[in-house]
């Protein structure tokens, strides 16, 4: 059975408004830090990538957390011993005297301990960097695979919606670099332990210093949190424009567009549009950057004032005799490190909260669910279609559109017959094909297969038993064999089957001319690729239909780029392919249409006529009109 047609595809897209930063509501403080809820699922993703590397990373960071305090305290002991040796009655003028003096030996031990701690700190730092890098690579790979797998489960309607592409683009950006955020979280945990150990030392000497330090740093922390949220809002709001920039950058310098860009002189037009949009984004980003830098400097000065007030108090008490020189060194060092750690912790916490907002883009994408899906207990697809397909009052309109593409459509597609589908552009022919393949489900009515609703069958089985080659078929930049094997990719290693499909679609004559024949990469995206003409690509794409060996075959304009002789040969072989099977073919050429057993004429999404070529010509209706218009061009 075959289905033929005259016309082109018809689909609608939801309207898009322009987004801009000015249209975005500012995020509240609760929303900013509420994004921290994304960290546990992020940690689970990282842990799933490699439990042993993640655990090792955490253990190493735990050890590193206590090293700064240990090194600083050892330094205090060294200074105190140096003061003892220089102010006491010890004589260490020679090397032998040095090793005969107990304070000298103790000082030597302390120096060796500090050296060992320094070496250990460096080694652990390198280990952390190594594990972070490896985990980052694994996370990017695994998350990208998961995103691709999830995207494959979503409906065609999603991919025909501009808003969905914004979500997809934002999610794609989150598959890379997210280990940096996890490293920041790990660093925060490490720094918290270090801060706690420094805090214990300061509490012994001057507990009020910690309170002063925290109060001095809070303004800078709140300012950083505010500007991180502003940065996210700007990035989110400009997602459509950034996608447009990527598109213009590609269109202006691509092998696929180069001919028309040169012939039509589009370079200045594309460049100017890119420059205008890029400048607008730059100005919006510049304004935020200037405000952030200015307020950051003011708030950082407040933190510095608190630090130097505390430092002056420590110096004064040392001069007064409350602290030793070693104590001064330890306190000054501890306070300086503590200030740096707290400032970094608060800033990092704000940054983490801001970066966690971006994870919403990734996790919200994974929450998108398909509407076209298998039922809970699906029917098995018939081994052989016996009755065929029947449309009963089918109506359909694209999501977000009020216009009905198909309405009250009822007809039967009998098993074993050839049925041509004819209609002007926009009549709904390609939409009908999409419904047959369950790329969409009807909004009204139902489609029956052997007396049962098509939605009752397992979706994967339906797709596995239907082969579709659309007019805008994909030109995969893979080998010639793989380009044909995508018709049934699980059989890609079956070279005899691939070669037979190529021979039946006339693609073998194309492949024989390639340097590496079936192993030759086709397309010009890669250095070793060889490009094909439009007709050659179409023969390769047709090979996928033969490779499919499906019960229902759907071909959308399969010979549009072929010459008359090649088209004749293709259809002679096509009769063999469709014998005893179902097939759908959409073609502009009435030489193809008249081969059908019956012809179905669509107009305005509704059935206007159905019958044989001779019957429809005799009826003098829409089909006869279209046939005569095309035939007049050959007289």
Q: What is the pLDDT of residues 546-568, one digit of tens each?
A: 887 788 888 777 666 566 666 66
Q: What is the mean pLDDT of the chain?
A: 77
> How far is residue 603's CA from residue 609's CA, in Å, rounded to a whole number?
9
Kindly tell me if the per-residue pLDDT of 236 is higher than 80: no
Q: What is the DSSP letter of 177?
A: S
Tokens of 236: 């989110």
198-203 long-range contacts (CB < 8 A, ≥24 apart) are 198/68, 198/69, 198/334, 198/337, 198/338, 198/341, 199/338, 201/69, 201/73, 201/330, 201/334, 202/331, 202/334, 202/335, 202/338
Per-residue pLDDT at 12: 36
Kindly tell me if the per-residue pLDDT of 7 is higher than 70: no
* DSSP helix/strand/coil, 550: coil
**Least confident window among 275-279, 304-308, 433-437, 624-628:** 304-308
Q: pLDDT tier at 3 (50, 70, 90 boundaries)? A: very low
Per-residue pLDDT at 628: 83
| Nearest one of 297, 284, 296, 291 to 223, comparing CA atoms | 296
Q: In what order do the strands lie in the sheet with 552-556?
A: 466-469, 552-556, 582-586
CA dihedral 144, 150, 152, 156 (to 10 degrees): -120
Per-residue pLDDT at 93: 57
Q: What is the pLDDT of residues 372-385, one digit of tens each?
A: 888 888 998 888 88
Per-residue pLDDT at 258: 62
Q: What is the pLDDT of residues 435-473, one digit of tens each?
A: 998 888 999 999 999 999 999 999 888 888 887 777 777
| Nearest one of 352, 359, 354 to 38, comparing CA atoms | 359
DSSP H helices, 154-177, are 156-159, 162-173
Q: Is 579 exposed, middle or buried (0-12, 13-18, 19+ CB in 10 A)?
A: exposed
Q: pLDDT tier at 202 (50, 70, 90 boundaries)? A: low
Residue 80 or residue 43, greater confidence: 43
Q: What is the pLDDT of residues 383-422, one digit of tens each?
A: 888 888 999 999 999 887 888 999 999 998 888 777 888 8
Q: What percent of the chain has pLDDT over 70?
A: 75
Per-residue pLDDT at 443: 92
φ and ψ at residue 199, rounded to 5 degrees: -60, -40
> How far is residue 104's CA from residue 404's CA, in Å, rounded to a whole number?
94
Kindly tell me if the per-residue pLDDT of 591 is higher than 70: yes
Q: What is the DSSP letter of 55?
A: H
Q: What is the pLDDT of residues 326-341, one digit of tens each?
A: 777 777 777 767 777 7
CA 545 to chain centre: 30
* DSSP helix/strand/coil, 329: helix
Tokens of 156: 């065609």
Residue 427 or residue 583, greater confidence: 427
Per-residue pLDDT at 488: 85
Most confident of 59-63, 338-342, 527-531: 59-63
Kindly tell me if the per-residue pLDDT of 192 is higher than 60: yes
Kindly tell me if the per-residue pLDDT of 24 is higher than 60: no
Most confident of 25-34, 178-187, 302-311, 443-452: 443-452
| Placement of tokens 């024949």 in the chain | 517
Per-residue pLDDT at 346: 66
> How far is residue 312's CA from residue 323's CA, in Å, rounded to a whole number?
13
The average pLDDT across 119-127 equals 90
Kindly tell me if the per-residue pLDDT of 273 is higher than 90: no
Kindly tell me if the per-residue pLDDT of 27 is higher than 80: no
Kindly tell me if the per-residue pLDDT of 572 is higher than 80: no
The average pLDDT across 186-196 equals 80
φ and ψ at residue 392, rounded to 5 degrees: -125, 100
Ranges of beta strands (E only) in 314-449 are 388-396, 406-414, 418-422, 444-449
Q: pLDDT tier at 577 (50, 70, 90 boundaries)? A: low
Tokens of 480: 């010639």
Kindly tell me if the per-residue pLDDT of 423 is higher than 90: no
Kindly tell me if the per-residue pLDDT of 2 is higher than 60: no
Per-residue pLDDT at 92: 55
Kindly tell me if the per-residue pLDDT of 109 is higher than 80: yes
Kindly tell me if the per-residue pLDDT of 219 is higher than 80: no
Most confident of 278-292, 347-361, 477-491, 519-533: 477-491
| Nearest one of 186, 67, 194 to 131, comparing CA atoms | 186
| Nearest one of 17, 16, 24, 19 to 280, comparing CA atoms | 19
Q: Is 632 exposed, middle or buried (0-12, 13-18, 19+ CB in 10 A)?
A: exposed
Per-residue pLDDT at 172: 76
Kindly tell me if the per-residue pLDDT of 575 is higher than 80: no
Per-residue pLDDT at 207: 67
Q: What is the pLDDT of residues 281-303, one digit of tens each?
A: 888 788 777 877 777 777 777 76
Q: pLDDT tier at 154 (50, 70, 90 boundaries)? A: confident
Per-residue pLDDT at 260: 60
> How far is residue 128's CA from residue 57's CA, in Å, rounded to a whole number?
6
Q: What percent of the chain has pLDDT over 90?
A: 8
> How far apart, in Å, are the Cα atoms of 456 and each of 243, 447, 452, 589?
39, 10, 7, 36
Question: In the chain, helix, strand, coil percent, each to 5?
Answer: 65, 10, 25
| Placement of tokens 């050839």 in the chain | 418
Per-residue pLDDT at 90: 59
φ and ψ at residue 399, rounded to 5 degrees: -55, 135
Kindly tell me if the per-residue pLDDT of 263 is higher than 60: no
The average pLDDT across 567-593 equals 71
Q: What is the pLDDT of residues 474-487, one digit of tens each?
A: 888 888 898 898 88
Residue 384 or residue 181, greater confidence: 384
- Sketch out the chain's domains with CATH numbers: 1-8+388-465+551-635 (3.40.50.300), 50-366 (1.20.1560.10), 471-549 (3.40.50.300)
> How far is residue 272's CA from residue 284's CA, in Å, rounded to a whole number?
18
> How far is residue 32's CA from residue 355's CA, in Å, rounded to a whole number?
10
Per-residue pLDDT at 396: 94
Q: pLDDT tier at 635 (50, 70, 90 boundaries)? A: low
Kindly tell me if the per-residue pLDDT of 47 is higher than 80: yes
Per-residue pLDDT at 392: 93
Task: Please provide the distance, in angstroms rounded to a whole number, between the alpha carbons at the two ends of the chain.
Answer: 32
């Amino acid at each position: 059975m075959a289905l033929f047609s005259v016309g082109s595809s018809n689909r609608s897209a939801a309207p898009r408004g322009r987004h801009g930063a000015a249209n975005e509501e500012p995020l509240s403080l609760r929303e900013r830090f509420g994004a921290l809820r994304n960290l546990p699922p992020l940690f689970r993703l990282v842990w799933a990538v490699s439990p042993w590397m993640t655990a090792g990373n955490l253990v190493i960071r735990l050890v590193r957390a206590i090293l700064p305090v240990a090194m600083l305290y050892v330094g205090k002991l060294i200074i105190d011993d140096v003061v003892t040796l220089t102010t006491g009655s010890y004589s260490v003028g020679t090397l032998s005297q040095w090793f005969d003096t107990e304070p000298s030996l103790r000082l030597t031990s302390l120096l060796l301990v500090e050296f060992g701690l320094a070496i250990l700190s460096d080694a652990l730092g390198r280990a952390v960097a190594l594990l972070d890098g490896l985990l980052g690579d694994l996370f990017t790979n695994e998350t990208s695979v998961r995103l691709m797998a999830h995207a494959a489960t979503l409906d065609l309607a999603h991919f025909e919606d501009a808003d969905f592409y914004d979500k997809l683009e934002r999610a794609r950006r989150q598959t890379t670099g997210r280990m940096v955020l996890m490293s920041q979280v790990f660093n925060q945990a490490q720094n918290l332990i270090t801060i706690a150990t420094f805090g214990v030392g300061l509490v012994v000497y001057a507990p009020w210093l910690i309170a002063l330090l925290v109060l001095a740093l809070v303004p800078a922390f709140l300012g950083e949190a505010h500007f991180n949220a502003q940065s996210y809002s700007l990035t989110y709001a400009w997602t459509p424009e950034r996608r447009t920039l990527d598109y213009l950058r590609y269109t202006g310098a691509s092998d696929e567009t180069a001919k028309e860009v040169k012939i039509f002189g589009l370079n200045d037009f594309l460049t100017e549009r890119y420059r205008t949009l890029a400048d607008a984004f730059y100005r919006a980003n510049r304004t935020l950057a200037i405000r952030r830098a200015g307020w950051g400097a003011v708030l950082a000065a407040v933190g510095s004032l608190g630090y130097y007030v505390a430092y002056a108090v420590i110096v004064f008490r040392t001069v007064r005799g409350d602290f030793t020189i070693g104590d001064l060194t330890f306190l000054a060092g501890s306070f300086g490190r503590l200030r740096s750690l707290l400032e970094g912790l608060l800033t990092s916490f704000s940054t983490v909260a801001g970066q966690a907002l971006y994870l919403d883009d990734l996790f919200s994408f994974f929450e998108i669910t398909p509407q076209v899906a298998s039922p809970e207990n699906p029917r098995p697809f018939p081994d052989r279609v016996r009755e065929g397909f029947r449309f009963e009052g089918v109506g359909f309109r694209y999501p977000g559109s009020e216009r009905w593409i198909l309405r009250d459509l009822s007809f039967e597609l009998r098993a074993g017959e050839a049925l041509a589908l004819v209609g002007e552009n926009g009549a709904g022919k390609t939409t009908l094909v999409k419904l047959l393949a369950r790329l969409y489900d009807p909004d009204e009515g139902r489609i029956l297969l052997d007396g049962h609703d098509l939605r009752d069958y397992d979706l994967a089985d339906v797709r596995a038993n239907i082969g579709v080659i659309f007019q805008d078929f994909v030109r995969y930049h893979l080998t010639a064999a793989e380009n044909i094997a995508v018709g049934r990719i699980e059989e890609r290693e079956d070279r005899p089957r691939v070669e037979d499909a190529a021979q039946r679609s006339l693609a073998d004559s194309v492949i024989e001319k390639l340097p590496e024949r079936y192993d030759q990469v086709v397309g010009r995206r890669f250095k070793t690729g060889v490009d094909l003409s439009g007709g050659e690509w179409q023969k390769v794409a047709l090979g996928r239909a033969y490779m499919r060996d499906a019960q229902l075959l759907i071909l959308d304009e399969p010979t549009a780029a072929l010459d008359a002789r090649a088209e004749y040969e293709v259809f002679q072989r096509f009769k063999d392919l469709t014998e005893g099977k179902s097939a759908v073919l959409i073609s502009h050429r009435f030489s193809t249409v008249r081969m059908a057993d019956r012809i179905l004429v669509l107009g305005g999404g509704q059935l206007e006529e159905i019958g044989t070529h001779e019957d429809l010509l005799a009826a003098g209706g829409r089909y006869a009109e279209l046939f005569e218009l095309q035939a007049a061009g050959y007289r």
